[in-house]
């Protein structure tokens, strides 16, 4: 069973309950964020970069530390292009199942991997998206204590189950609106279609008048309103 049709309803329940998380940007602005989880991948992420380069679009990537260590040259290529970098844990273990020490170590190890490949200091990489979007109030309290910023989503086309390019594009178009925060995947699950998906999706969204910004841009709006 695919859950994509239910994510908009889940979003409407969770978003007002956890206002300290970044769920979206300005609903009065056509600025949206395109984000990618589970990378970097030696093949799929490079393909994504080619499409983003072609359209001169800056996106946001939430990385697994283990993948950064496996593909440091790909990580550097993403960073060198000015894309925004965030954390997704070291190895995609669910955050609520980790002890506080394990969670802290997972994030710190990922920051260290990013520093080694991209020379970004830990304080420059503070945005965190929990794997599978799973968190608890305790998780958020720990983020706050450790000065991390929790980033969620508003458009989830469930591309990681590989429903097909046409289906993913259709789901995004059905859900997208001003300020949307779109989640796609450039890792092992879903990454095989991601470049072809955004090759179709980006021109459609541009034609609708949307402007692509990074997660940091969405935070700036939320912090001033």
Decide: helix, strand or coil at residue 202. Answer: helix
The residue with tokens 């983003």 is 52
Q: Which of 38, 92, 185, 186 is catalytic?
A: 185
Decide: helix, strand or coil at residue 128. Answer: strand
The residue with tokens 């002890």 is 99
Length of the chain: 225
**Cα separations (Å) of 209 from 29, 107, 203?**
10, 36, 10
Q: Known catalytic residue: 186?
A: no
Measuring CA to CA, which residue among 180, 136, 131 is closest to residue 160?
131
> Is 85 within 8 Å of 109 (Cβ atoms)?
no
Q: Known catalytic residue: 92?
A: no
Alpha-helix residue ranges (DSSP H) falling in 81-190? 100-118, 137-145, 165-175
Distance CA 202, CA 13 (A): 28
225, two tokens: 């309103």
Q: Which of 26, 37, 38, 127 is catalytic?
A: 37
Residues with catalytic annotation?
37, 185
């Amino acid at each position: 069973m695919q859950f994509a049709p239910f994510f908009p309803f889940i979003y409407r329940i969770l978003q007002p309950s956890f206002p300290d998380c970044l769920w979206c940007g300005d609903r009065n602005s056509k600025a949206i964020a395109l984000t990618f989880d589970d990378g970097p991948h030696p093949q799929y992420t490079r393909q994504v970069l080619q499409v983003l380069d072609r359209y001169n679009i800056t996106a946001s990537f939430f990385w697994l530390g283990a993948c950064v260590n496996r593909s440091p040259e790909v990580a550097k290529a993403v960073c060198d292009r000015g894309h925004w970098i965030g954390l997704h844990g070291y190895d995609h273990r669910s955050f609520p199942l980790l002890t506080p020490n394990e969670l802290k170590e997972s994030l710190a190890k990922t920051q260290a991997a990013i520093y080694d490949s991209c020379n970004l200091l830990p304080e420059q990489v503070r945005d965190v998206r929990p794997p599978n979007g799973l968190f608890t109030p305790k998780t958020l309290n720990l983020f706050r204590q450790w000065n991390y910023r929790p980033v969620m989503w508003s458009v989830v086309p469930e591309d990681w189950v590989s429903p097909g390019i046409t289906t993913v594009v259709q789901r995004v178009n059905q859900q997208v609106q001003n300020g949307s925060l779109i989640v796609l995947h450039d890792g092992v699950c879903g990454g095989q279609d991601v470049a072809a998906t955004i090759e179709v999706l980006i021109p459609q969204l541009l034609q609708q008048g949307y402007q692509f910004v990074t997660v940091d841009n969405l935070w700036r709006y939320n912090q001033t309103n």
